[in-house]
């Protein structure tokens, strides 16, 4: 009985590199992408600010 109810856990925050447009999923805030040193833009909308 390992069929646990799958909660609708939204995917981790999605960050898009403003330099190359690469999207990365991360559960933590990302500063910049070391590969291209591009700033990661958080695409996820933060409810209530
Ligand atoms: Zn990039």
For residue 19, being part of any structural domain is answered with yes
For residue 8, being part of any structural domain is answered with no
| Ligand 1 centroid – CA 37 distance (Å) | 6
| Ligand 1 centroid – CA 20 distance (Å) | 4
Closest CA to 31 of 15, 48, 45: 15
For residue 7, being part of any structural domain is answered with no
| Residue 46: per-residue pLDDT | 59
Domain count, the chain: 1
Domain containing 31: what range? 13-42
For residue 3, being part of any structural domain is answered with no
For residue 4, being part of any structural domain is answered with no
Contact between 41 and 19 (Cβ < 8 Å): no
Question: In whole angstroms, what separates CA 48 from the centre of its chain?
Answer: 18
| Residue 35: per-residue pLDDT | 92
| Ligand 1 centroid – CA 30 distance (Å) | 12
For residue 27, being part of any structural domain is answered with yes
pLDDT digits (tens, 9 = 90+) for 1-49: 666 666 667 667 899 999 999 999 888 888 899 899 999 999 876 555 5
Ligand 1 is an ion; its neighbours by CB within 5 Å are: 17, 19-20, 22, 33, 36, 38
For residue 47, being part of any structural domain is answered with no
| Ligand 1 centroid – CA 10 distance (Å) | 24
């Amino acid at each position: 009985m390992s069929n646990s109810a799958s909660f609708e856990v939204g995917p981790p925050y999605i960050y898009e590199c403003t330099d190359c447009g690469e999207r990365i999923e991360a559960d933590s805030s990302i500063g910049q992408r070391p590969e291209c040193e591009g700033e990661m833009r958080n695409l996820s909308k933060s409810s209530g600010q």
